[in-house]
Structure 1
Amino acid sequence: MASGSPKNCLEFFKTVGRLKHIKRTGWVNRNVRDPETVSGHMYRMAIISFLLDEKDNVNRDRVMKISLVHDMAESLVGDLTPDCGVSVEDKHQREVSAMEHFIKLVGEKAGNEMFNLFMEYEEQKTPEAVLVKDLDKFDMILQAFEYETDQDRPGTLDEFFKSTEGIFKHPKVKLWVEELYKQRNSERSDQS
């Protein structure tokens, strides 16, 4: 069947649809109740990108698109974290192969666009890719804060916050991180 055919498109839809059910490994490994899915994470990143404007010096639509494809390969390879025992190089190669598979399913126009956006994120050479990396890490600590608060487990996910200290680059994201820390510190002092 030809790439981009209805049969192959349906296969692609079903494959990426798996992201609605793949729980994020970091939360599963930390015994979080009802952990978010990969697609939930990507969706919130894309929604966050709506808050960008011309003063942020990025192409907002491109940020949104990169947010939507940056973890798409996980529908085939799973959510691999450093705890999984897979090298960074091997993880990258598995994800590249998955993205190449999608080109075969959906055709070169859409497939190459998704592949190129994925590679842009991986290579971190554009302002948009760097910002999406910030959004990826910001969403992670925001989610950690929500779990600590909603599941009455203050401070138990501190490792996620520590892993992002000093890494945020974009001024707007830095402001959001600062506010998140204020709220987290306030929540923790209310608990004591």
Structure 2
Amino acid sequence: MENNRLMKDIEFIVEIDKMKSILRQTTLMDKSKRENDAEHSWHISVMAMVLSEYANEEVDTYKVIKMLLIHDLVEIYAGDTFCYDKVGNEDKKERELKAAEKIFGMLGEDKGKEFRELWDEFEEMKTKEALFAASMDRLQPMLSNYYSGGGTWEKFNVQKKDIYKRISPVKESSEELWKFVEYMIEDAFEKGYITKE
């Protein structure tokens, strides 16, 4: 095969199949199994398509979806770090930066640069698209926890204040979704899904 660019693209596509094997702490809503990174990325991308109308400002949904589809590719090498794992989060940034160099470095320079810039923008959460993407990324496990009767909140005794802190990007990106988030957290607390402070 003479087309080096195509071969690099195919190698990248083959490599990211590993996303299907990276297990997250979050379970499916039916509690049948833990979800993997590929399932998570698909779910939050569809959520962005469905929920973008509720953003406080109009967002470029296509750009949001691109961010959501690539933001966890680094976990192929860095692993999934549970958001409430204080020890695991100490070196998460360092592990993920190394992984970003490796995974996006597999692509040709132009595609690698585009993907890396999207990944960096997502991580920085400064643009309206990155903020909305982060909101989807954080809302999806929350929905899983709520609709499965506690999920990882119960399993790891997560406190209400920590959930509010984790989900805070939603407050900045969508007033309407934030009202729903507050309802879910308070209702989950009343039902005993969330640990009392």
TM-score, scaled to structure 1: 0.75
Matched, 1:177 2:181: yes
Distance 1:3 1:157, change over 3 A: farther
Aligned partner of 2:87 in structure 1 is 85
Instruction: Provide the secondary structure at the position in 1 that maps to 2:126.
Output: coil
Instruction: Provide the secondary structure at the position in 2 that maps to 1:36.
Output: strand
Q: Which one-letter code corresponds to 2:116 in the other structure?
A: F
What is the RMSD computed on CA atoms of the aligned residues?
3.3
Preserved contact between residue 105 and residue 112 of structure 2 (Cα < 8 Å) = yes
Aligned partner of 1:63 in structure 2 is 64
Distance 2:143 2:135 in 1: 12
Structure of higher RCO (CA pairs closer than 8 Å, 6+ residues apart): 2
Preserved contact between residue 16 and residue 76 of structure 2 (Cα < 8 Å) = yes
TM-score, scaled to structure 2: 0.73
Displacement after TM superposition at 1:59 (Å): 1.6
Distance 1:61 1:3, change over 3 A: same
Distance 1:119 1:20, change over 3 A: same
Query: What do residues 128-167 of structure 1 show as CA deviations (whole Å, max 9, x unaligned)?
Result: 1112222222112111123327x8x995566175422162
Distance 2:103 2:153 in 1: 41
Distance 1:130 1:161 in 2: 22
Instruction: Structure 1: state its 5+ residue gaps.
Output: none
Instruction: Provide the secondary structure at the position in 2 that maps to 1:122.
Output: helix
Displacement after TM superposition at 1:5 (Å): 3.8
Q: Which range moves more in the overlay, 12-21 or 167-176? A: 167-176
Instruction: Provide the secondary structure at the position in 2 that maps to 1:13.
Output: helix
Aligned partner of 1:21 in structure 2 is 21
Alignment of structure 1 residues 1-192 onto 2, 5 Å: 4-6=5-7, 8-24=8-24, 26-27=25-26, 34-50=33-49, 51-53=51-53, 56-57=56-57, 58-81=59-82, 83=85, 85-86=87-88, 88=90, 90-148=91-149, 156=155, 159=158, 162-165=161-164, 167=168, 168-169=170-171, 170=173, 171-178=175-182, 180-181=184-185, 184=188, 188=191
Instruction: Structure 2: state its 5+ residue gaps.
Output: 193-197
Q: Which range moves more in the overlay, 163-172 or 124-133? A: 163-172
Displacement after TM superposition at 1:96 (Å): 2.1
- What is the total number of aligned residue pairs between the two structures? 180
Preserved contact between residue 160 and residue 185 of structure 2 (Cα < 8 Å) = no
Greater percentage in strand: 2
Identity, % of aligned positions? 23
